[in-house]
Structure 1
Amino acid sequence: MERTRTVRWHDAAATAEAAGTMAGLDFLHEMIAGRLPGPPIGALLGFSLEEVEHGRAVFSFAPGEEHYNPIGSVHGGVCATLLDSAAGCAVHTTLPRGTAYTSLDLSTRFLRPITLDTGKVRAIGTVISQGRRTALAEAGLYDDRDRLLAHATSTCMLFPVG
């Protein structure tokens, strides 16, 4: 049976512009509070930023059929996107105003299949090490019983905005 899904999001340009005007942690707090819209990728995949503190970011995600690969589990690319978001936003929480980041690499390990029966999952990212030009972060994807479903490490490049 055919299914449909409608996705709505806000223009990403205004949010991206705001990112360069405030410290990373303040920016992400504004997003969680709803004063800045979340990124379009969150609307597309159905995940959201739930909490942040210095060096840590947590996303939540409820898997749906629209996330499935051909063999009936959530596609690894969806999991990698969640892990990349959690690791990257953990780095973002540490950045001063006028500094941005981008992922240089992402190494992922998928440990358990994720299906509708898995229920809501959390991606928790933490900063491991940070220098002037790069930061290393890790992220884990957990089910509601705190079982590790997937893990990633990421190196992010730090650079001035504007």
Structure 2
Amino acid sequence: MGRTRTYEWEDPAISAAVAGRTSGLDMMRDLLARRLPGPPVAATLDFALEEVEEGRAVFSLLPGEEHYNPIGSVHGGVYATLLDSAAGCAVHSTLPPGMGYTSLDLTVKFLRRITVDTGKVRAIGTVISRGRQTALAQAQLLDGADRLLAHATSSCMLIPVPSP
């Protein structure tokens, strides 16, 4: 009665080597166009980058049983991963060459339950404020009817990327 799921990913060092060498928006566009391999976590959870523009990133996921917690709904960590990805990549899309970022915190508010019956969900991240050293972003997790499922805010530290 067991269920199985297999998946593949590409070498994450390929994309990591590009980070900071080009603008964040150019890197995000290359990920979207699949000129760069996506991060392994996206393969693990089966979510995808759908849209990117400066200061905005959108990821989507079709919930499956593999995302469930023991009480029969999508685990909060899946929500958090989608929201963190959307908020962080929105920040990344604003960075010039030579800059990177890392998340300092993530605050998530869970508002609605997600199950396989929910259908496709989208995490939409937007930058609220970006300074020289930090950025603040938010992300909303929405269902197909644009009902808010969860909301997050994230502070990111902007860091110079050393030259090769």
Shared fold, TM over 0.5: yes
Q: RMSD in angstroms over aligned alpha carbons?
A: 0.5
Q: Indicate whether 1:19 and 2:19 are aligned.
A: yes
What residue in structure 2 maps to residue 39 of structure 1?
39
Question: What is the deviation of 1:20?
Answer: 2.2
Task: Kindly provide the amino acid, as one letter, of the partner of residue 66 in structure 2.
Answer: E
Q: In the TM superposition, what are the counterparts of 1:1-162 in structure 2 within 5 Å?
A: 1-162=1-162
User: What is the CA–CA distance in structure 1 between the aligned matches of 2:98 and 2:7, rounded to whole Å?
Assistant: 31
- Structure 2 unmatched ranges of 5 or more: none
The residue identity in structure 2 corresponding to 1:17 is A
Partner AA of 1:83 in structure 2 = L
How many Å apart are 1:14 and its aligned residue?
A: 1.0
1:99-142 residue CA offsets vs partner (Å, 9 max, x unmatched): 00000000000000000000000000000011100000000000
SS of 1:73's partner is: coil
Which digits, 9 at most, give the CA deviation of each residue in 1:24-55, with x for residues without a partner? 00000011111101100000000010111110
TM-score (norm 2): 0.98
Aligned length, in residue pairs: 162
Q: Distance in 1 between matches of 2:8 and 2:98?
A: 29
Q: Give the partner amino acid of 1:40.
A: P
Secondary structure in 1 aligned to 2:18? helix
Deviations 1:28-87 (A, max 9, x none): 001111110110000000001011111000001000000000000000000000000000
Code of the aligned partner of 2:85: S
In structure 1, distance between residues paired with 2:46 and 2:90: 19
Unaligned runs of 5+ in 1: none
What's the CA shift for 1:21?
1.4
| TM-score normalised according to structure 1 size | 0.99
Equivalent position SS for 1:141: strand
- How far apart are 1:88 and its partner, in Å? 0.1
C-alpha distance in 2, partners of 1:157/1:119?
A: 34
Identical-pair percentage: 71
1:18 deviation in Å? Answer: 1.1
